[in-house]
Structure 1
Amino acid sequence: MPGESAPPRVGLIGAGAIAAAHLDAWQALGAECVISSRTRPTALAERFGAEIAEDADALIDRVDIVGILAPTPTHLNLALRAIARGRHVVCEKPLALTSAEAQRMADAADAAGVRLLPAHVVRYFAAYRRIQQAVVAGGIGALQTLRLSRAGAGPTTAWFYDENAGGGLIRDLLIHDIDQALWLAGTVTSVSARQDPPSIDGRLSAPVTATVELTHANGVTSRIDGGWLGEGTPFRTTIEAVGTAGALAHDSAAEAGGTARASSVDADTGYLPPQTEDHPYRAQIADFAEAIRTGRPALVTPADGVAAVAVVDAAYASLAAGGAPIPV
């Protein structure tokens, strides 16, 4: 990264719905942005005044930080190419297709002396951060149970519904809440999962819902429910943390006056965590930029990204085993 007063040079690979949030966040820091996509992202580049690189390698050559926003199966290869050239990396969740691949990414970044941020943006939402801080401070006594949910209109791109191609409701959507459960309650020892309807040869049909139940090493249990539902379904998330001395809860619909809040950056984000006034996407990128500048850890570490994917691995193993608990 350039000197403290120079703007970072950032390249984003991928121009899907989440790209607008990343561009907005980096430009809020004064970054010079370049984007690359399999289809030339002219409209997105014009909207944000960004340049377009001819391909991923040309982009990596021009920047200090690479944001990987492309489909999950591409994450490992793109990250390793960027890391090999000494670039810091922000990688959208899930970090990789499997925990073994995610660990390979983390090890490569560590060996190269560059930073890797798994983009688990929900940690930067103020309401979730307040609950985590209160739990850590003992505000509800010893944590006993967690309930989390996340649902909305399903994505319109076909690969999201193909578990064999890196998609899947649990892998792509519920990983947000899996990361929250790990953040709040720590290491997971076993996972069970159910999905309705089940996938057929790895392909999902919408609408689809799933439940993932976690047992943590400290005895806490977490239940995570989610769904990709019908077109126009408002995006809504909830969290409830129950302890021996009280409970804390948040409902995004209640915060928004009874309806889901649309993104202020990009309106076509039905399945994405929406923007709120506390600008979580900007907070995420600002945290990473400051971590690079100072050498301190970011709020989300590579190990956090690996751990979340390991739980996802176990959840899919549980689905294949008819919902039986799978050790992590």
Structure 2
Amino acid sequence: MPVESRADEKLRWGIVGTGGISQQITADFSLVGNADVVAVASRHASSADEFADAFGIPTRFDDYSKMLDSDIDAVYIGTPHVTHFELARAALERGRHVLCEKPIGLNAAEVRELAAIASESGAFLMEAMWMKFNPLYARLHQVVDAGAIGEIRSVRSSFGAPFPQDDSSRWKPGGSALLDQGIYPVTLSHMFLGEPSNITATGVIREDAVDLSQNYTLNYSGGRFAHGASSMVEFLDQSASLSGTGGWITIDTGFWFASRLTVHRFSVEKGETTETIETTREGNGYVPMLRAVTASILNGDVEHPLHTMDETARVFDTLDEIRRQITPNGKAWS
């Protein structure tokens, strides 16, 4: 079903969930000129009221279904990831556009099912992989495409931190360091090397299937490779690097939201030479993504070319295989 362009209008957003990520996203929406946050939904009326009052949102709901039936165009889903599939499906089936916090589902099958529902409804759908919209990554692609480090031969990235062992969803069934943190290293590898030809992985997983940590090697033709690791019980280096036949690039700590990279080259005559590239972060860092998604929806697009649902599903194929290898019974999420 075609979607008509509404490029001269404002898009009316509803926020689902009132946690920290929803707070940051809503604050950044205030910097997007053609977007209005007009509603918020939470399981608890008091939470919805408090959130709405804090951000000046006119309408609040303790019933998600009622928000979907209200005067909104699109939803941002910022709830625990075990809920994402059902919440996104409900919105798409109502013809609402969806921007869903990562991970958008628990496995590749869920991702592809959501994509099919979106295609049938004609609604926009995207996982909120803000890293791809980070201005630094636009510069990174320019540097790589210009041949600054030659052919990329390997990617290294990791994200680990010992999160507080509290009552959050992170530690409950469905919690996953791989889906929460590991999705960034795997996505980065896909961005610059594509789909791996084979994968080797090992990790630590609890009896209730919450995976705590993992490390993995993605192998590609011609000896190219990507090394990645993720954990929610220990620190791991949070920088990243891309290495090529003519040099290498390092991305600062917090590589998925970083604002600085360094291009390294080496020659016998000059030794190592470096060039640093810096960008400026807008708000909490989500503004470029929110601006791009809002513009795409108003333009009548059903996905954004920087992060298509096909690309998302391929990343999940890799995540599924890592999960299969680190799980004692050899299964991915179900």
Structure 2: 5+ residue runs without aligned partners? 261-279
What is the match of residue 318 of structure 1?
A: 325
Residue 106 (structure 1) aligned with residue 115 (structure 2): yes
Distance 1:18-1:240 versus aligned 2 partners, 3 A rule: same
Match 1:146 to one of 150, 155, 159: 155
Residue 287 (structure 1) aligned with residue 287 (structure 2): no
What is the match of residue 267 of structure 2?
A: none
| Greater C-alpha radius of gyration | 2
1:110-165 alpha-carbon deviations (Å, 9 max, x no partner): 12211101111111223334323322343211110100022234264442134xx3
Query: 1:67 offset after TM fit, Å?
Result: 1.3
Q: Distance in 1 between matches of 2:27 and 2:315?
A: 26
Match 1:169 to one of 177, 195, 215: 177
Q: Distance in 2 between matches of 1:201 and 1:75?
A: 20
Q: TM-score, normalised by structure 2?
A: 0.79
Distance 1:24-1:245 versus aligned 2 partners, 3 A rule: same
- 1:255-266 correspondence to structure 2 within 5 Å: none
Match 2:190 to one of 172, 175, 182: 182
Distance 1:292-1:219 versus aligned 2 partners, 3 A rule: farther
What is the match of residue 78 of structure 1?
A: 87
Distance 1:2-1:11 versus aligned 2 partners, 3 A rule: farther
The residue matched to 1:31 in structure 2 has which SS? Answer: strand
Report if the CA contact (8 A) 1:28-1:282 is conserved: yes
Comparing 186-195 and 99-108, the one that deviates more: 186-195
Q: Distance in 1 between matches of 2:252 and 2:12?
A: 37
Comparing 288-297 and 52-61, the one that deviates more: 288-297
The residue matched to 1:214 in structure 2 has which SS? Answer: strand
- 1:1-328 correspondence to structure 2 within 5 Å: 3-29=6-32, 30-40=35-45, 41=47, 42-50=49-57, 51-62=59-70, 63-154=72-163, 156-162=166-172, 165-195=173-203, 197-203=204-210, 208-216=212-220, 219-229=223-233, 237-252=238-253, 277-279=281-283, 280-295=285-300, 297-298=303-304, 299-320=306-327
1:3-27 alpha-carbon deviations (Å, 9 max, x no partner): 4343211111112221012212323
Q: Distance in 2 between matches of 1:48 and 1:143?
A: 44
Structure 1 ranges of 4+ moved more than 6 A: 253-257
Query: 1:287 offset after TM fit, Å?
Result: 0.8
Q: Distance in 2 between matches of 1:70 and 1:9?
A: 19
Q: Distance in 2 between matches of 1:283 and 1:54?
A: 30
Structure 1: 5+ residue runs without aligned partners? 258-275
Identical aligned residues as a percent = 24
The residue matched to 2:30 in structure 1 has which SS? Answer: helix
1:86-112 alpha-carbon deviations (Å, 9 max, x no partner): 111101111111111110001111122
